[in-house]
Amino acid sequence: MKDIYILGIESSCDETSCSIVKNGCENLATVISSQIDIHASFGGVVPEIASREHVKNITFVLEECLTKANMKMSEITAIAITYGPGLIGSLLIGLEAAKTLSFIYNKPLIPVHHIAGHIYANNLNNKLKFPLIALVASGGHTELVYMKEDYSFEKLGGTLDDAIGECYDKVARVVGIPYPGGPSIDKLALVGKATYKLPIPLNDNSYNFSFSGLKSAVINLAHNEKQRGRDLIKEDLAASFQTVVVDTISKKTMKALKDYNVDNLIIAGGVAANKLLREKLATLCTENGVNFTFPEMKYCTDNGAMIAAAGYFAYKKGRIADLNLNSKSNDKLN
């Protein structure tokens, strides 16, 4: 069979990234230009600044990626692009670059949903086994997805308000940690004790999540401690918050596996890098005979390789777009 080389382009938030992936699993080259330092001083991503940075970076990132892979555009089979969801201005920059390359080099254009990308980041390490449940937890999403086979997605539930990564970043801000605070809260929690009492979010039988109440509870707790002249013990707050979050997510994930009689679990998205979440799910999966896999740390947060990997399977299913393809800030995973 002829090898398939997909160029993946990702620009949905604050990372400009291009990758070349062979046959949906072998990463030949990945270049990521992150804007984290630029947005950190604002406490979060500023959409207008993000789009301008993508404009500045995209051609350099693309050139460097081709050089790293020692390939020419003529050797690329097809171009996969994150068309959505994400920040509309940011998405448009990647999309215009992809469309231009598709037009000039006469290459098929493959639209990839950002969540499909996160899910297929797993395929860069271990070939996906079906049927599976995917737990997608990132700065913008918290979803449980059932997959019967490659590129078939059934959303079982998701967040009704804030995404879990967003919540991590907000809690970090409360204790004075700059954006994105998720990784720092994760580290702090490991040395703290879960001594603060926090509410358990949406403790019901559904596959949905709700984290805004928990976020408000942390903000109120910090405020009350200050009013009482007491020092907030950051490590303990991080541990208390993280324990509630990980328990809630793990419980619903294990329920989905049981209800759907599935014994493959994958996790995806920035929060999939979380140490406690990985440990807890690994333990529960071992106890319940579930095969648990997760992406390498470098493929958890946004990157072009996950888009190229997903693009390979979309391409195989004939999901090709024409040059009328538009970005969508919101779209159902399908």
- Note the residues at the interface with Zn ion (CB under 5 A): 138, 302
3-state secondary structure 58-95: HHHHHHHHHHHHCCCHHHCCEEEEEEECCCHHHHHHHH
Nearer to ligand KG4 by Cβ, of 66 and 81: the residue is 81
Q: Is 30 in the site for ligand KG4 (CB under 6 A)?
A: no
For the bound state, the minimum distance from the C-beta of residue 91 to Zn ion, rounded and expressed in Å, comes to 12
| 168 is a site residue for ligand KG4 (CB under 6 A) | yes
Smallest distance from the beta carbon of 322 to ligand KG4, in angstroms? 27
Of the chain, the end-to-end C-alpha distance in Å amounts to 28
Among the listed ranges 93-101, 194-202, 256-264, 265-273, the one in contact with ligand KG4 (CB under 6 A) is 265-273
Per-residue interface string for the shown chain with ligand KG4, residues 172-191, x marking contact by CB under 6 A: --------xxxx--x-----
Nearer to ligand KG4, 53 or 302 (CB): 302
Provide the pairing of β-strand 291-293 with 78-84.
unpaired
State the nearest-atom distance from the C-beta of 95 to ligand KG4, in Å. 17
Name the residue nearer to ligand KG4 (CB basis): 211 or 315.
211
Query: How many angstroms separate the CA atoms of 220 and 216, rounded?
Result: 6
Measured between alpha carbons, how far is 173 from 180 in angstroms, rounded to an integer? 9
Distance CA 260, CA 253 (A): 11
Binding to ligand KG4 by residue 13, rule CB under 6 A? yes
CA–CA distance from 273 to each of 20, 138, 165, 267, 332 (Å)? 23, 10, 11, 9, 24
Q: Is 302 in the site for ligand KG4 (CB under 6 A)?
A: yes
Asked if 214 is part of the footprint of ligand KG4 (rule: CB under 6 A), the reply reads no
CA distance 238 to 192: 7
